[in-house]
Structure 1
Amino acid sequence: MTLVGAWLVDETDELALARLGNVLLEFDESGGLRYTIREHDKRQIINLRYRVEGSTIVTDQPSAPQVERTQFSFAEDGVLTLALGGIPHRFVRAPGS
């Protein structure tokens, strides 16, 4: 399994939807991460840099430097779980990703 590609909050994860909203994560092969908060009439995009250290994603936002570490894992069915603030949130691959 690889992080590279686009991931959406799992619609069955009510806690993730309530805490994060309709979020799209796009990991690219060169260490870029686009975090998009999708609302009805607008998109808020946060551009980050990332690297993987074992089972941890290390992110940094170049415009406001601050390193964040997030544990991650993949389930057998391909669901990505991110422990945001220690709380697991599920993401599924976006169609076509």
Structure 2
Amino acid sequence: MSTDWLMGTWRLVRADEPLDFAPGVRMEFLPGGVLRYHVDVGGVDQTIDLLYRVEGEVLHTENPAAPHAMSVRLSHGEGDSLLFDFGGPRALLVREVRGAGTAAS
């Protein structure tokens, strides 16, 4: 599976109850296997830099600063959505698009 579609920033829309996603979570997939996990903590954007790789339809992440790794089935859904399936519980994210007034770099 090509992962070109995965590049960019994705914002959590909803997650099933058993999943531990905080409201406002964003995931920024960058080239070179870097994933910036953004979470709002008291109005401040906190980021955690993770490493990721995709094998088939499975996203593997690990935190080099802590002994934590995770694997989840992913798919590119309708309307440019990102679906995570944790073996039952699911999470839905949508691509975050910069506003028309944002300057391109």
Q: Same fold (TM over 0.5)?
A: yes
List 4+ stretches of structure 1 deviating above 6 A.
none
**Contact 1:81/1:89, CA 8 A, preserved across alignment:** yes
Counterpart position of 2:65:
63
Counterpart position of 2:22:
20
RMSD over aligned Cα atoms: 2.2
Residue identity in the other structure for 1:69: S
Give me the whole-angstrom Cα distance separating, in 2, the residues matched to 1:14 and 1:88.
6
- TM-score normalised according to structure 1 size: 0.81
Counterpart position of 1:2:
5
| Unaligned ranges ≥5, structure 2 | 99-105
| Unaligned ranges ≥5, structure 1 | none
Moved more, 84-93 or 41-50: 84-93
Aligned length: 93
**Contact 1:22/1:39, CA 8 A, preserved across alignment:** no
- TM-score normalised according to structure 2 size: 0.76
* Deviation, structure 1 residue 44: 2.1
Percent of pairs with identical residues: 31
CA separation of 1:45/1:86 partners in 2, compared to 1, >3 Å: closer, same or farther? farther
Residue identity in the other structure for 1:66: H
Counterpart position of 1:31:
33
Give me the whole-angstrom Cα distance separating, in 2, the residues matched to 1:6 and 1:66.
22
* Deviation, structure 1 residue 40: 5.0
Moved more, 41-50 or 28-37: 41-50
Give me the whole-angstrom Cα distance separating, in 1, the residues matched to 2:47 and 2:94.
19
Counting only pairs closer than 5 Å after superposition, residues 42-61 of structure 1 correspond to structure 2 as 42-61=44-63
